[in-house]
Chain A
Amino acid sequence: TMSGRVIVGVKRVIDYAVKVILFCCCNRPIYVLIFYPVVTHLTLCLLANVSQLTPGDCCTRETIRTALAMGADRGIHVEVTGKDYETLGPLQISKILAALAKKEDAQLVILGKQAIDDDCNQTGQMTAALLDWPQGTFASEVTLEGDKIKVVREIDGGLETIKINTPAVVTADLRLNTPRYATLPNIMKAKKKKIASMKPADLGVDLTSRLEVLSVEEPPQRQAGVKVETVADLVAKLKELGRI
């Protein structure tokens, strides 16, 4: 068992079953995989990024409450609004997470490995770098061994096992566990739990973006394939299309 705080990041993204069309979309929360063997011995904080606090905007708080219902002890909502919200990316999020980890004196930061909306796979790694902490990314198995953590990582070649010191950052792979359901009694209890609100300025974080989005387009429509008779034809066709 480990004593200390664990911070788990929660991001609200689009439902994977919904078709995205550029001018309108639906949201359904995505759940961070929390490994409960560790949770029972720790107090767990929750951070939710991506928020725009408009009157009646209960969406982000709803996501935090669901996470509280799944077993977290406290919720933290870092409110980002306006232009900052639009340019929010992994770098800004990891700055916020790093600041929070220091503020809360956390031993472990657990994040998802890659969100389905931006597909970045960057936040965990950046957070670890900013904190100068070791990182165990794409974790499919996490075990405590004294004051170190053994992480089995899902990598292209198979599985890699590493042992890292704490404090550390771990990013969760799908195979880490099966999330428990947020049952209604827990949702009801979660509604009574307090969610602390703060602004990035309270954490001393600068959210200026280094990126400028030039355009957003749908992927090109899939064209019909072209059959060729010989390899020579194939090479000629590819040259014609400017591919080689």
Chain B
Amino acid sequence: SRVPLMKTTCWAEHITPQLYTALHRRTCSSVSTSRITTHYTIHPRDKDPRWEGVEMDRFVDEADVVIVGGGPAGLSAAIRLKQLANKHEKELRVCLVEKASQIGAHTLSGACLEPTAVFELFPDWKERGAPLNTSVTEDVFSILTETRRIPVPMLPGLPMRNHGNYIVKLGNVVRWLGEQAEELGVELYPGYAAAEVLFHDDGSVKGIATNDVGIAKDGSPKDVFERGMELHAKITLFGEGCHGHLAKQLYKHFNLRENCEPQTYAIGLKELWMIDEKKWRPGRVEHSVGWPLNRNTYGGSFLYHLNEGEPLVALGFVVGLDYTNPYLNPFREFQRWKHHPFVARTLEGGHRIGYGARALNEGGFQSIPKLTFPGGLLIGCSPGFMNVPKIKGTHTAMKSGMLAAEAVFPKVTAESVDSETAGLHVPEYAEALKNSWVWKELYAVRNIRPSFHNYFGMRSPYLSREHPHFVTGCARSVSGLDADQLKPAKDCTPIEYPKPDGKISFDLLSSVALSGTNHEGDQPPHLTLKNDDVPVSRNLAIYDGPEQRFCPAGVYEYVPLETGDGMRLQINAQNCVHCKTCDIKDPSQNINWVVPEGGGGPAYNGL
């Protein structure tokens, strides 16, 4: 039954949460939603009459090693494999597939790089022109209040200290790694996403299949439909980065997470600014915590002054995805943080030239899963080796790739293969990792992030950061899945965010445009829903549709139905920047992110 107030309650955000959701519950349950998800992973094609008679055979090729993901971990593994092959004069076919149209185009990070892994991989990195151009000269840490700043001294021995590190454009470092890899003979295939894991009959991993192309938005085949190809390998290295979609399947399939904590995450949003030269302090690293986040929300900011010829700063904001208030909007927290006097003074007179976002790991040591399985293994941020208090994961990701290569090499080049399964199982990789500096480093900081959840909230990391020796004992556990942390909207207060001023802070859509993201429009949305009815009946009804707020690209919108009563979820898949936050934070865990057609996604340039 229609209530005269319905139209206004749909739009008005100032109406109390209780009224909004109660009225919705009455109308939404009776409305059937038209199909949102058309992807074949949810609606299989073998039962679909539109696919009858379509040629589904795939071209097959074999390599020695296949690597999924052209990021720091994947490329380091590929490079190391070829270095070993050349040193031992062995033939080795290494194929790497990457969903971005160019190597580095989907890479986003602060980044303050600890160069240990780069130096190990290429002692002659300088001669090779590695883009490590900005040494850290100043290291500033602050606790912010709404108007003031409390400086925190960066004493030697603190994990946050950046002496000896480089501020880099990680996308450029990744691009450079790609060039080194190609020179060494690695076959790089950007623009081709690994869409499916292939298995031998004995259950071991056989390789991957790349994405099909030419499927229309409604899931039917277009004239230009072509099947992806199968790349078989003796072993497949999965380096998809934080919260990879194939890794998600592998965790279930091989039960890799039974003896570890669930992974927890944060979302990192970043902008690149050209600032007034007078304000430029090349080599300066700034971090802050506190305002605008409250005591119970984990997060903070970074601001790095690059030194590559122009007055560029890379700045960003990180929000822990275990936040409880569904009205929290990480993008808008980022935009309002920039107005703090300490930050705004750097940005005034400058202009913004880049934007992007990506989820990152926060679970640390306790969340590392089982890393190896028959036919494959996990490297980089996918299993997650980020040192959370240092907010650095690139050096450990690269090292994990290198260790994987070193463990895998003797097995794939052995004369005779002594393996129980058709796909090689290389547990030596996990052993090597446990004996490396990666493990030591992660173990040392294992309790800093979990201790955030005690009474002291955001202040406790300072206690432990200031006195790392005081944090001992067994690894403390994290409180559970990020997706389960949201409280119902009726128990929370909406947050009043200031309007963007167009000079320092900006609206979402102009930001998304700066990411250069784009996808072929006529393809099934790659943000798939297991159940098309759940968004309105659960996410909107109970949590007021948090996906409208945590997506940094405006993919999810609740719009009124054409019939006028009730809402429906609209998925603007073309906006997606592949950050994976929705797959992580959806309270119903109904969203399953899968790869779109290869080549689609952001076009980050050195972000």
CA distance A17 to B210 in the complex (A): 24
CA distance A179 to B514 in the complex (A): 27
Q: Does B504 contact A (CB under 8 A)?
A: no
Instruction: Known contacts A18-B603, A25-B605, A26-B603; decide if A183 and B226 are in contact (CB<8 Å).
Output: yes
Q: Are A188 and B226 in contact (CB under 8 A)?
A: no
Q: Are A26 and B228 in contact (CB under 8 A)?
A: no
When distances are taken between beta carbons in the complex, the residues of chain A under 8 Å from B59 are 183-185
Q: Are B605 and A185 in contact (CB under 8 A)?
A: no
Interface string of B171-184 (1 = CB under 8 A from A): 00000000100110
CA distance A24 to B59 in the complex (A): 39
Q: Which of B61, B224, B513, B605 contacts A181 (CB 8 A)?
A: B224
- Closest CB in chain A relative to B500 CB, distance in Å: 17
When distances are taken between beta carbons in the complex, the residues of chain A under 8 Å from B228 are 183-184
CA distance A26 to B513 in the complex (A): 14
CA distance A16 to B513 in the complex (A): 11
Q: Which of A23, A26, A56, A183 contacts B516 (CB 8 A)?
A: A26
Of all chain A residues, the one with the shortest Cβ separation from B598 is: A184
When distances are taken between beta carbons in the complex, the residues of chain B under 8 Å from A23 are 274, 310, 353
Chief secondary structure at chain B's binding surface:
mixed
CA distance A49 to B605 in the complex (A): 24
When distances are taken between beta carbons in the complex, the residues of chain A under 8 Å from B513 are 19
- Closest CB in chain A relative to B208 CB, distance in Å: 11
Q: Are A15 and B518 in contact (CB under 8 A)?
A: yes
Q: Does A21 contact B (CB under 8 A)?
A: yes
Number of A interface residues at 8 Å Cβ cutoff, please give it.
24
When distances are taken between beta carbons in the complex, the residues of chain A under 8 Å from B226 are 180-181, 183
Q: Does B213 contact A (CB under 8 A)?
A: yes
Of all chain B residues, the one with the shortest Cβ separation from A181 is: B213
Q: Does A102 contact B (CB under 8 A)?
A: no
Q: Does A223 contact B (CB under 8 A)?
A: no
CA distance A179 to B223 in the complex (A): 10
When distances are taken between beta carbons in the complex, the residues of chain A under 8 Å from B353 are 21, 23-24
CA distance A97 to B265 in the complex (A): 54
Q: Which of B97, B213, B514 contacts A19 (CB 8 A)?
A: B514
CA distance A26 to B214 in the complex (A): 25
Interface string of A4-26 (1 = CB under 8 A from B): 00000000000111110101111
Q: Does A215 contact B (CB under 8 A)?
A: no
CA distance A133 to B187 in the complex (A): 43
Of all chain A residues, the one with the shortest Cβ separation from B213 is: A181
Q: Are A180 and B224 in contact (CB under 8 A)?
A: yes
CA distance A24 to B213 in the complex (A): 31
| Complex A-B: 22 CB contacts under 8 Å | A18-B603, A19-B514, A23-B274, A23-B310, A23-B353, A24-B606, A25-B605, A26-B603, A26-B605, A28-B101, A28-B102, A56-B179, A58-B179, A178-B222, A179-B224, A181-B214, A183-B213, A183-B226, A184-B189, A184-B228, A184-B229, A191-B187
Residues of B within 8 A of A (CB): 59, 61, 97, 101-102, 105, 179, 182-183, 187, 189, 192, 210, 213-214, 222-224, 226, 228-229, 274, 310, 353, 513-514, 516-518, 599, 603, 605-606
The 9 closest A-B pairs by CB, nearest first: A17-B518, A18-B516, A185-B59, A181-B213, A26-B605, A26-B603, A184-B229, A184-B192, A21-B353
